[in-house]
Amino acid sequence: MDLVPALEEPLKKVLGPATAKVMAEHLGLHTVGDLLHHYPRRYEERGQLTHLADLPMDEHVTVVAQVADARLHTFASAKAPRGKGQRLEVTITDGSGRLQLVFFGAGVHKPHKELLPGTRAMFAGKVSVFNRRVQLAHPAYELLRGDAEETVETWAGALIPIYPATAKLESWKIGKALQTVLPSAQEAVDPLPEPLRAGRGLVGLPEALLKIHHPHTKADVEDARARLKWDEAFVLQVALARRRHADAQLPAVARRPKPDGLLTAFDDRLPFTLTEGQRKVSAEIFTDLATEHPMHRLLQGEVGSGKTMVALRAMLAVVDAGGQAAMLAPTEVLAQQHHRSITEMMGELAEGGMLGGAETATKVVLLTGSMGAAARRHALLDLATGEAGLVIGTHALIEDKVKFHDLGLVVVDEQHRFGVEQRDALRGKGRQPPHLLVMTATPIPRTVAMTVFGDLETSVLDQLPAGRSPIASHVVPAADKPHFLARAWERVREEVAGGHQAYVVCPRIGDEEDDPKKAGRKKSPEDEAERRPPLAVLDIAEQLAAGPLRGLRVEVLHGRMQPDDKDAVMRRFAAGEADVLVATTVIEVGVNVPNATAMVIMDADRFGVSQLHQLRGRVGRGSAPGLCLLVTEMPEASPARQRLTAVASTLDGFELSRIDLEQRREGDVLGQAQSGTRSSLRMLAVIDDEEIIAEAREEAAGIVAADPELTGLPGLRTALEALLDEEREQYLEKG
């Protein structure tokens, strides 16, 4: 966390190359300082056993439990045809639940000798289901012998820290490595300004690190957590406050729509009135556009709340003021759809420079990677000359060849689909920084908005436009009650018979190459114990067309189809020429077919909460009620089933985003996939720690206002550099 050599020391030197390599590759830990900030996920008490009842499926877990019984079975297999195959089944208990461990082949000998009834140990492995029973296959384990000197030494104190671990490196090995580097914690430089630390009664950083890894009491853990949460919240909020401060210094062109211009003409031709929410949010945006530093606004609203309409009015206002506006969409399907719906809504106002175009009209161009050379050349020319006021496109908009005459506003749709560099490149295309409007249909709780989008002003659209229908959602437990699945397909047939259409969503396409390492190998019992692969679009479409949906017009849509084919399928479906669309999540965002009333999501447990909510928003977009069926084979008591039940029980996206966050245990709110680095949030739980985040934001704003360069706070500067390396700070900048 600072420049002190002890904490900068590479782990290779301290722990040896083999352990250091695993830590770097699997946990992203490179230095002593990194390891000291790899905090325990929880603690086990020596005298207690853990709860086996609520183990998360498909995750790597560590449990402390006692062996209840162990049985060795022999069986015949391809490798041991004469019945010489061996399987050891060990049942462990914690007093509240039981869990089965399985070992195969040569791997049975050591545990058969060591895991005798009554033995206590720590077990680490991946939770899977086999024959409808939860199990750990081939777990690693460490016996807890209270008398052995070495074990007592390693797990000193009454509390055993359980670390976020991987299959290659169990929690207890991480614990041993930490005992080795713990003395270096004394060298840690404190990032919190002394008055703030003293005023809030927080312990110093070296003490907090000692107490988190080597606590003697629960109070030690509380002290350490309180302190380390403040570090994370405060350093993050300082980074955001510096971002806001820097943005406020940037110049931008104020864009005020002219009276009786394009925006007025557009409003006059709308066949409906805007909702109260749309008017309010538009007013906030127009106020921002009229200022001389760049707008940075996040527009969040439920699926179907009319965000596109608000964004389009902002884009037209900028064109009125002499600028150009660009809308960045995450997929070609969505870019084409936005282009189609915007030109339809604008009518002759989108026919600038054409015969029959209105006097105030502008040109609306589409730019995607798969366009033909001639159409592309034409679009690029219209942008460079300023002939086109509006452009809708995918990341093709970002390429170097794309030049704008005067880019005034960038609208990013579904921001979580875009990486930092992409947004940055587009913003760099204006003569001065353009105004930025970021849209998302994934509702974001207030604390997350403060944490992740802390440099953006937030607007919320929470009203649905008139004429939207409610969506009924139900969980279909395919394994427990197969007749429920049969009934689901009957419901789809009923919807189609009533003149409507349906989506069937699958997690996978189905034409993936087989992994060459796995090909040609016979399946061993271990492989059999793994869960089956997710259901695939191509397989399911074939089964449905030949089986329960025989006679209906079934089409497929997935991301690896040619763009023209995708567009053709979407046009046919939108025109009612197909009854059922079997698709991957390419339909998750922005696809708008009001006549589609039913959706069946296969293997729904493989999707996240907000993704299910997004997908569900594709039905019920017309006047007929929507139906969403969540199909799963997960057992009733599993967390995956509870998650699906939560999705089925509410249509409130904010409530669901809370559930989603609470279930992401490592608190990686800052989007690992987008930033490419580990999350800086290890202690802070954005939902529970709302108060700390709000207070840290206030403190940070005061400190940055007084000293934007943090010249008087070297410890804080160092913490910023370490916690928010270049990449992280840029990531935050783009919100």
How many beta carbons lie within 10 A of that of residue 608, not counting itself? 15
Look at strands 98-104 and 133-137 and give their pairing: parallel
CB contact at 8 A, 47 and 146: no
> What is the per-residue pLDDT across 339-362, written as a single tens digit (0 to 9) for each?
988 998 898 888 876 655 667 789
The pLDDT of residue 371 is above 70: yes
Q: What was the pLDDT predicted at 432?
A: 83
Q: What was the pLDDT predicted at 357?
A: 60
For CA atoms 82, 84, 85, 88, the dihedral sign is positive
Q: What was the pLDDT predicted at 366?
A: 94
Q: What was the pLDDT predicted at 652?
A: 76
Q: What was the pLDDT predicted at 632?
A: 92
> What is the per-residue pLDDT across 718-729, written as a single tens digit (0 to 9) for each?
888 766 554 454
Q: What was the pLDDT predicted at 675?
A: 34
CB contact at 8 A, 4 and 725: no
In the structure, what pLDDT confidence band is assigned to residue 543 with cuts at 50, 70 and 90? Answer: very high
Kindly state the DSSP code that residue 365 receives in the 8-state scheme: E
Reduced to 3 states, what is the DSSP secondary structure of residue 44?
strand
In the structure, what pLDDT confidence band is assigned to residue 211 with cuts at 50, 70 and 90? Answer: very high
Ramachandran angles phi, psi of 375, nearest 5°: -60, -35
> What is the per-residue pLDDT across 45-84, written as a single tens digit (0 to 9) for each?
755 555 677 777 777 777 888 899 999 988 776 666 665 7
Q: Which residue has the higher pLDDT, 147 or 18?
A: 18
Kindly state the DSSP code that residue 430 receives in the 8-state scheme: S
Q: What was the pLDDT predicted at 148?
A: 45
CB contact at 8 A, 393 and 329: yes
| CB-based contacts of 425-430 (< 8 A; 24+ apart in sequence) | 425/398, 426/326, 426/328, 426/397, 426/398, 429/326, 429/402, 429/403, 429/404, 430/404, 430/406
**Over residues 211-228, mean pLDDT:** 92
Q: Which residue has the higher pLDDT, 271 or 409?
A: 409
Q: What is the DSSP string of 548-579?
A: TTTTS-EEEE-TTS-HHHHHHHHHHHHTT--S
Q: What was the pLDDT predicted at 687?
A: 67
Q: What was the pLDDT predicted at 669?
A: 44
Q: What was the pLDDT predicted at 661?
A: 65
Partners of residue 69 on adjacent β-strands: 91
In 3D space, the residue among 671, 683, 243 whose CA is nearest the CA of residue 454 turns out to be 243
pTM of this structure: 0.62
In the structure, what pLDDT confidence band is assigned to residue 601 with cuts at 50, 70 and 90? Answer: very high
The pLDDT of residue 419 is above 70: no
Kindly tell me the burial class for residue 356, based on how many C-beta atoms sit within 10 Å of its own C-beta (0-12, 13-18, 19 or more).
exposed
> What is the per-residue pLDDT across 672-693, written as a single tens digit (0 to 9) for each?
323 333 345 677 776 677 788 8
**Over residues 472-487, mean pLDDT:** 90
The pLDDT of residue 731 is above 80: no
Least confident range from 35-44, 498-507, 521-530, 560-569: namely 521-530
**Over residues 242-246, mean pLDDT:** 84
CB contact at 8 A, 620 and 471: yes
The pLDDT of residue 323 is above 90: yes
Give the chain's mean pLDDT. Answer: 81
Ranges 459-468, 554-563, 586-595, 662-671, most confident = 554-563
Cα of 340 vs its chain's centroid, Å: 29
